[in-house]
Structure 1
Amino acid sequence: MKVFKFGGASVKDAEGVKNVVRIIQSHSDEPLLVVVSAMGKTTNALEVLLQLSVEHQSYAEKINELYEYHLQIVKGLFEDIHHEVHFFLAQRFQSLTRALQKARRQEYNQVYDEVVAHGELISSGIVQAYLAQQGAASRWVDARSYISTNNLHREAQINWPLTSSRINRDLAPILEGEIVITQGFIGKSSDGHTTTLGREGSDFSAAIFAASLNAASVTIWKDVPGVLNADPKRLASTVLYPELSYYDAAEMTYFGASVIHPKTIKPLANQQIPLLVRSFKHPDEPGTRIHQSQVVPPAPAIIFKQDQTLITFNIRDFSFITERNMSSIFYLLDLMHIKINVMQNSAISVSICIDGNTSKNEALINSLSSEYDIRFNTGLSLLTIKNYTEETIAEMSRDKEILLEQRTRHTYQIVVRS
C-alpha cells in the first residue's frame, strides 16, 4: 500500500480538489491512504479567529468569510444543493464556533489545537465527499482516533506503540477495499483532548501512517517539481534533486528547508520506506526520491530561515565558560521547548541563534539575566549552505552584515541582518 499527502495549496479551490481526486483515482488500483491538509491559508485564518476571541473582539465577520470560502469550493464541486456535504460543512463550523466561544476560559495552547484542527477536518471531509461522488470506494476517518499523543499542545509527541497498534488493527482491513481519507497535523492526548504535531505537521502524519502500515512509499504532492536546492521564491536559478539520501534530507529539514516537515524522515528511514516529493501540477513527472543511498547532491543546498534571534550570554567575572554554565542554559532551553539553530562559544561567552518567539525568548533572557550579561538581536536571518563551495559562500554572503559565522566540513552558516 501507499500513502499520499496533499498540502493546502493543492486543495485551495474547487479545481484543485478535482485535480487531487484525479491523481488519487489514477492510483486506485492499489491500497491507498490519503492525508489532507487544511485548504489554502485556512490555518492562518483560524489563528486570526482564535486571537480575536482571546482578545474579546468580534470574529463574526472573519468566520463568515472562512465559511463562504469553503462554501464556494463546495458549490464548485457539487451541483446538488442538498448534498450531505453542506450539512457536514455547517456542522463543522458550528463546532468551530463552540470552540471559539470557550477559548477565553481554556489554556491557550489547548484551545489553539482544538480550533486549528477544524481546517484539516473540513478539508478532508470535502475531498472524501467529492471522491465518493466520482465513484471511488472511500472512507473518511478521524486521525485523532488513531494518532495517540502526550498532552504537549502544539508540539505533541507520539505514543508510537498505541498509535501503530490502532492503525494496524482498524485501518489495514479498511484499506483492502476502500481508499482512506484522513487528516494531517492532528492527534489526541490520553485525556481526550485534540493535539497538533507542530505547524506544517501533515507530512509527519503521513510518515506515521506509513510506518505503522509498513507502506511501500510515501508521496508528498507539492506545488514545486520536487526538492530544490533553494527556495525558488528567493533565488531565480534553482536545481532539482532527482534523489537524496535520508541523511541529506534530514539535515536540510533541520536547517529549515520548508519542503518537508523535519520530523518526517526518521520513521521512514527507520523502516526504509522511500519518500517521494512530486508536483501536483505535473503529476506525471518523477520529482525527487528520498531513500537509503550514497548519492552526492548535484548542487549545494541554500536554506534561508527568517525571524531569528541571536542571544549572547557573557560571563560577568571573566572566568571561563564551563560545562556547568552550558548545563544551566541548556536546562532552560529544554524546559521552555526552545530549539537552537546555531550555537557558538568563546572563552567567556555563549551565543545561540533561535527562532523569534518573543514570549519564550523574553522568558529565557529574564531567567538568566542574574547570571550573565546578555545581548540580543532580533529580526535576523539564518543562511545555511550545505555541501558548500567557496564560490557559493562568496556569492551568498556578499554585501551582508554578518553577526555570526560558522563552518564545518560540509556546512556553512551565517546569521545576518535581514
Structure 2
Amino acid sequence: MHEPHQLKVYKFGGASVKDAAAIRNLVQIVRQYGSDGPLLVVVSAMGKTTNALEELYELAHAGHDYAAPLHTLREFHLSVAAELGIAADFSPDAPGLTELLQLLGDRLATLQPGDYDKQYDQVVSFGELLATCIVARALAAHWLDCRPLLRTDHTWREGRIDWPTTERNLRATLPDLLARGPVVTQGFLGGTASGLTTTLGREGSDYTAAILAYCLGAGSVTIWKDVAGLLNADPKFFADTVRYPEISYQETIEMAYYGASVIHPKTIKPLAVRRIPLLVKSFLDPTAEGTIIHDCRHGLLAPAFIRKAGQCLISFESKDLTFISEENLEVIFGALAQVRLKIHLMQNSAISFSVCTDFSAHRLSTLLALLREQFTIHYNTGLELYTIKNYDAASIRRLTTDRQLLLEQRTRQTFQFVCRGGLNE
C-alpha cells in the first residue's frame, strides 16, 4: 500500500453532484486527477436536497402532509440513478436507493413530539446517504458508512468530534479499504456511541474532509467548487471578484469565521495542526490553478467582502434603567448558549446590549421566553451582515453607500455592519 502521507481526500459539494451530468463530471475528475494513489472521496447531498429534507422534516414534525415533497425527492434520486444506469436495489457493499428511501419514509412517519434537533439529524442525514450510494456506484468505488467511525457526542446538529476514538476507528478501517481502490463516504455526518446519527453543522462536509485527512495523515485535501478558487467575495453577489492564488491558514480561518461561504469554519484547524495543504479547485475547470491554503506568509491582501443573509438583530435593555453589567451579560450569554444562537456581532451601551445572530424562529421564541421577564427585548429579522476583511476607505464606501445601517463596528483589520432589510418586530 502507498504511504499514508500520499493519501488524497477529495470533497465534492452539492453543486458538483446536482444531477447525472454533474456526477459524470465528478467521475471524470476522479479518474483523471485522483488515480495516482489512495483516494478518499467525501460527498455532500445532491443539489438542494438538504433544503428539501429540512422542509420535509418541518412538515412531518408539525403533523402536516408531506407526501408530495417526499415523492418529489424520491423520484429525483431514482431518475438520476436511472440516467446513470445504476440499479436502485441493494448491492453487496451498500444499501440500495429504494431501501434508503423506504427508511426515510419510515423515519418521517414515526417522529415523536419533542427532541427537535435530535430528530432533525435522523432525517436530514439521508441526503448524504442517498448521494454517496449513487456516486459510489458511478465510480465503481467502495461505499463507506462514516457514522460508526466519526464518533461524536450528543450535541445534535453540531456534533462534537471525539478525536481519539475517531482516529482509532479510521486507522483500523480505512487503510485496507483504500488499498483496494477509491472509497466514497458521506460528509456532514457522524454518530454517537449508541449508534444514533449526528450532523456536524450546515455545510459541514468540508469539516468531514478535514477530520478524515487529520486522522489518516493525508497528503492533501481538495475541495471541488463551482468557483475558480478562494475568492475575495461571492460572485453571486459581488462583481469584479479577485482570486487568491495562495493564502495562509490564519487568514482563511478568520474569513471562514466571519461567514465566507467557500470554507466551513471548522475545516482549517485540523489541517493546520498537521500542515496538510487545502486546495480549492473548480470542478467546472479542473485544469485551472485554484487556490492553495497552507502555512505561508503574504503581503496585504485584496479586501474580502463577506455577506451573511437571514440575520436577526436582538437588543436587550434593562427594565429598571440600570447599567448593562457583567451580571446581566452572564445571563444573556447563558441564554444564548442554551438556545444555541451564535453571536456574529455584538455591541453594548449603558442600558442596552445588542447581538446579531442567524435567524431561527424556534430558537428566538425560546430565547424570548427565557429573558423577557428580566429585559425589554427588541429585534429585527430579515437583515444582512456584511464584513470587510482588510478594509480600506474605498471598500467601505463600496458597501455602505445608499444603505441604512442599524449597527456598525470596526477593528484594525475588520469592518462590519448590519443592514436594515427586515420588518421591525
Report TM bin, short chain.
over 0.9
Which AA in structure 1 matches 2:14?
A: G
| Number of equivalenced pairs | 413
Q: Hey, what's the Cα distance between the residues in 2 that align with 1:413 and 1:81?
A: 49
Question: Is 1:347 paired with 2:353?
Answer: no
Pick closer, same or farther for the CA change 1:112–1:146 going to 2, 3 Å: same
Aligned to 1:135: none
Which AA in structure 2 matches 1:331?
A: G
Question: Is 1:101 paired with 2:112?
Answer: no
Pick closer, same or farther for the CA change 1:49–1:315 going to 2, 3 Å: closer
Q: Hey, what's the Cα distance between the residues in 1 that align with 2:227 and 2:122?
A: 30
Q: Hey, what's the Cα distance between the residues in 2 that align with 1:126 and 1:32?
A: 18
Q: Hey, what's the Cα distance between the residues in 2 that align with 1:38 and 1:80?
A: 19
Equivalent residues in 2 for 1:203-218, closer than 5 Å: 203-218=206-221
Q: Hey, what's the Cα distance between the residues in 2 that align with 1:95 and 1:82?
A: 13
Pick closer, same or farther for the CA change 1:80–1:365 going to 2, 3 Å: closer
TM-score, normalised relative to structure 1: 0.94
> What is the CA RMSD across the aligned residues, in angstroms?
1.9
Aligned to 1:56: 63
CA contact (8 A) 1:386 1:412 kept: yes
Q: Hey, what's the Cα distance between the residues in 2 that align with 1:83 and 1:115?
A: 20
Q: Give a deviation string over 1:87-107, Cα, whole Å, max 9, x none.
A: 811111111111111124563
Which AA in structure 1 matches 2:382?
A: G
Equivalent residues in 2 for 1:3-402, closer than 5 Å: 3-26=9-32, 27-78=34-85, 88-104=96-112, 107-132=115-140, 138-296=141-299, 298-402=301-405
Pick closer, same or farther for the CA change 1:362–1:184 going to 2, 3 Å: same
CA contact (8 A) 2:306 2:387 kept: yes
Question: How far 1:71 moved relative to its partner?
Answer: 1.7
Q: Give a deviation string over 1:213-252, Cα, whole Å, max 9, x none.
A: 0111111101111111111111121111111111111111
Q: Hey, what's the Cα distance between the residues in 1 that align with 2:86 and 2:370?
A: 59
Q: Hey, what's the Cα distance between the residues in 2 that align with 1:377 and 1:58?
A: 31
Question: How far 1:114 moved relative to its partner?
Answer: 1.4
Q: Hey, what's the Cα distance between the residues in 2 that align with 1:264 and 1:49?
A: 29
CA contact (8 A) 1:53 1:104 kept: no
Aligned to 1:2: 8
Pick closer, same or farther for the CA change 1:19–1:351 going to 2, 3 Å: same
Q: Give a deviation string over 1:248-296, Cα, whole Å, max 9, x none.
A: 1111111111111111111111111111111001011121111112223
Name which of structure 1's ranges 13-22 and 65-74 shifts more when overlaid on structure 2. 65-74
CA contact (8 A) 2:78 2:88 kept: no
Name which of structure 1's ranges 257-266 and 312-321 shifts more when overlaid on structure 2. 312-321
Question: How far 1:298 moved relative to its partner?
Answer: 3.4
Which AA in structure 1 matches 2:120?
A: Y
CA contact (8 A) 1:23 1:283 kept: yes
Which AA in structure 2 matches 1:241?
A: Y
Q: Hey, what's the Cα distance between the residues in 2 that align with 1:368 and 1:111?
A: 26
Pick closer, same or farther for the CA change 1:186–1:236 going to 2, 3 Å: same
Equivalent residues in 2 for 1:402-413, closer than 5 Å: 402-413=405-416
Q: Hey, what's the Cα distance between the residues in 1 that align with 2:400 and 2:388?
A: 10
CA contact (8 A) 1:50 1:103 kept: no
Q: Hey, what's the Cα distance between the residues in 2 that align with 1:212 and 1:261?
A: 18
CA contact (8 A) 1:241 1:297 kept: no
Name which of structure 1's ranges 297-306 and 103-112 shifts more when overlaid on structure 2. 103-112
SS class of match (1:231): coil
Q: Hey, what's the Cα distance between the residues in 2 that align with 1:348 and 1:412?
A: 24
CA contact (8 A) 1:302 1:385 kept: yes
Q: Hey, what's the Cα distance between the residues in 2 that align with 1:177 and 1:43?
A: 31
SS class of match (2:275): coil
Q: Hey, what's the Cα distance between the residues in 1 that align with 2:89 and 2:323?
A: 73
Pick closer, same or farther for the CA change 1:51–1:336 going to 2, 3 Å: closer
- Matched-pair identity in %: 49
Q: Give a deviation string over 1:330-385, Cα, whole Å, max 9, x none.
A: 12222222211011112332111111112212322332222223222222111100
CA contact (8 A) 1:403 1:415 kept: yes
SS class of match (2:347): strand
Q: Hey, what's the Cα distance between the residues in 1 that align with 2:56 and 2:164?
A: 35
SS class of match (1:176): helix
Pick closer, same or farther for the CA change 1:158–1:240 going to 2, 3 Å: same
CA contact (8 A) 2:88 2:98 kept: no
SS class of match (1:144): coil
Pick closer, same or farther for the CA change 1:282–1:83 going to 2, 3 Å: farther
Name which of structure 1's ranges 83-92 and 112-121 shifts more when overlaid on structure 2. 83-92
